[in-house]
Amino acid sequence: MSEMRFFIDPIRCIGCKSCMQACSECATHKGKPMIHLEYMERGSSTQTVPMVCMHCENPTCAAVCPADAIKRTEDQVVQSSLKERCIGCKNCVVSCPFGVPRYYPEMDQMMKCDLCYDRTSQGLKPMCATVCPSEALFYGTLEEFQSRRKGTPINTFDFGMQEIKTRVFLVAPDGYVNLSMDVMHHLDGRFEDNAYDHLDPFSHLEAMPMSGGLL
Ligand code: SF4
Ligand code: SF4
């Protein structure tokens, strides 16, 4: 049987925050949502984008952790930090290319999305995907996705010279193969208007029509 995958389709997000609410009800993170909503262009658009850990094939967060506090399961799910190991240095927070991990001072620990591993390891969907009314968060096989949905699932991202492959897919308009997030290329223009738009991984979607749209 094909592997179950997680898909984020930003175009479908209606900003209802059901995912955040459902996530925050998990007993292991005590009222804190591990999924976050980003805004594409807050000044001019209400479009929101749900953001979870992308579960990178070679996770930078784990590579830079001096305490070896971030472990991966056999099926490549990158876990939150181990409480007894995390020293709160925040290396993972600043190094994650997707801006995912958060350090919680009251818990003195980095926590992040672990793909609801207590559920997904038992064949259940992550909580956020069970409540998302527009299926902006979709959990299923690649074949299931392709038979039901529009858009191209992408899990290869370019950050300058570095290519990052992820376990989680981002749904882009048809025709895309990978998404370039070339930060260095844009540094010369850092004093120009909108100079940092390229740092937003979803800014390319702003001018696009409903590509991953509802069926
Ligand atoms: S998205 Fe960030 S937190 Fe998640 S595995 Fe990749 S580097 Fe680590
Ligand atoms: S904050 Fe914790 S998990 Fe993150 S790099 Fe530092 S020790 Fe590792």
pTM of the model: 0.81
CA of 212 to the centre of ligand 1 (A): 24
Ligand 1 within 6 A of CB of 112? yes
Q: Which amino acid is at 109?
A: Q
| Separation CA 89–CA 91 (nearest Å) | 6
DSSP class of residue 162 equals E
Each of the 215 residues of the chain gets a pLDDT tens digit; together they read 689 999 999 989 999 999 999 999 988 887 899 999 988 776 777 789 999 999 999 999 999 999 999 999 999 999 999 999 999 999 999 999 999 999 999 999 999 999 999 999 999 999 999 999 999 999 999 999 999 998 999 999 888 888 999 999 999 888 766 666 654 444 444 444 554 444 455 554 544 444 444 33
Residue 34, in any domain of the structure: yes
Domain count of the fold of the chain: 1
Q: How far is CA 133 from the centre of its chain?
A: 18
Residue 32, in any domain of the structure: yes
Residue 153, in any domain of the structure: no
Residue 101, in any domain of the structure: yes
CA of 62 to the centre of ligand 1 (A): 8
Residue 208, in any domain of the structure: no
Residue 182, in any domain of the structure: no
Strands 179-180 and 102-104: unpaired
| E runs forming strands in 99-149 | 102-104, 109-111, 137-141
Q: How far is CA 74 from the centre of its chain?
A: 20
193: CB partners within 8 A, 6+ apart: none
Strands 48-51 and 179-180: unpaired
CATH code for the domain of 26 = 3.30.70.20
Please give the number of the atom of ligand 1 that sits closest to the Cα of 60.
Answer: 7
Ligand 1 within 6 A of CB of 54? yes
| Separation CA 50–CA 113 (nearest Å) | 12
Residue 161, in any domain of the structure: no
pLDDT at residue 178 in the model: 62
Joined together, the tokens standing for residue 85 give 């190991």
Residue 83, in any domain of the structure: yes
pLDDT at residue 143 in the model: 95
| Residue-number span of the structural domain to which 89 is assigned | 5-148
Find, among 49, 20, 10, 53, the residue nearest to 167 by Cα.
Answer: 53
Return the H-helix or E-strand segment holding 86: none
Q: Is 142 helix (H, G, I), strand (E, B) or coil?
A: helix
